[in-house]
């Protein structure tokens, strides 16, 4: 009986030893893999469009009007100083131009952020906005601000659109 218990203890000790060695080797491999991952620079593929200007970005102000990364396009804010149905429609026409640059339409828009100096006027003329989306509205945030980048601007709208299903 004593011999059998001793044998079981040796087998158990051997099993623990093998597990410990295996664990150390896995940790070593993980550390090497992590080390390689940390050294590899992160690169994100981006395509840019900037108002058919022949340039992909405005280096003076430091922005691109549209950046595409993967199947998502990010459209920088389009401003107006005309907070009327005509002015609002004009902003959405320019946003549509941005979408078309990547073969998208208002149906691809998933998020809209609207900045205005007069939220009550924007509420009053919301019909111009709704016409753009044709009853397929995105997630939206409306924010009243005291001032926009362009000093006389009263409205600026930015969009995020998903290109799933759009032929490239």
CB contact at 8 A, 75 and 160: yes
Q: By the 8 A CB rule, do 110 and 161 touch? A: yes
pLDDT in tens, 78-112: 999 999 999 999 999 999 999 999 999 999 999 99
How far apart, in whole angstroms, are the C-alpha atoms of residue 77 and residue 156?
5
pLDDT of residue 74: 97
How confident is the model over 109-124, as pLDDT tens digits? 999 999 999 999 999 9
Give percent of the chain with pLDDT exceeding 90. 60
Q: Quote the pLDDT of residue 25.
A: 55
Question: Shortest CA distance to 125 belongs to which of 136, 110, 114?
Answer: 114
End-to-end CA distance of the chain: 76
Please write the tens of the pLDDT for every residue from 27-62. Answer: 555 555 555 556 677 788 888 989 878 788 888 888
Query: Is residue 76 a contact partner of residue 158, using CB atoms and an 8 Å limit?
Result: yes
């Amino acid at each position: 009986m004593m011999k059998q218990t001793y044998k079981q203890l040796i087998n158990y000790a051997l099993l623990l030893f093998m597990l410990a060695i295996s664990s150390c080797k896995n940790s070593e491999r993980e550390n090497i893999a992590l080390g390689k991952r940390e050294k590899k620079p992160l690169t994100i593929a981006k395509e840019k469009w900037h108002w058919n200007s022949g340039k992909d970005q405005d280096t003076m102000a430091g922005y691109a009007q549209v950046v595409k990364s993967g199947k998502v396009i990010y459209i920088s804010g389009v401003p107006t100083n005309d907070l009327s149905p005509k002015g609002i429609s004009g902003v959405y026409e320019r946003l549509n131009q941005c979408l078309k640059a990547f073969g998208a339409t208002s149906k691809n828009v998933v998020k809209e952020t609207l900045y205005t100096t007069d939220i009550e006027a924007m509420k009053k003329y919301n019909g111009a906005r709704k016409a753009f989306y044709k009853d397929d509205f995105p997630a939206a945030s409306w924010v009243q601000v005291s001032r926009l980048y362009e000093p006389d601007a009263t409205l600026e709208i930015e969009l995020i659109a998903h290109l799933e299903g759009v032929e490239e």
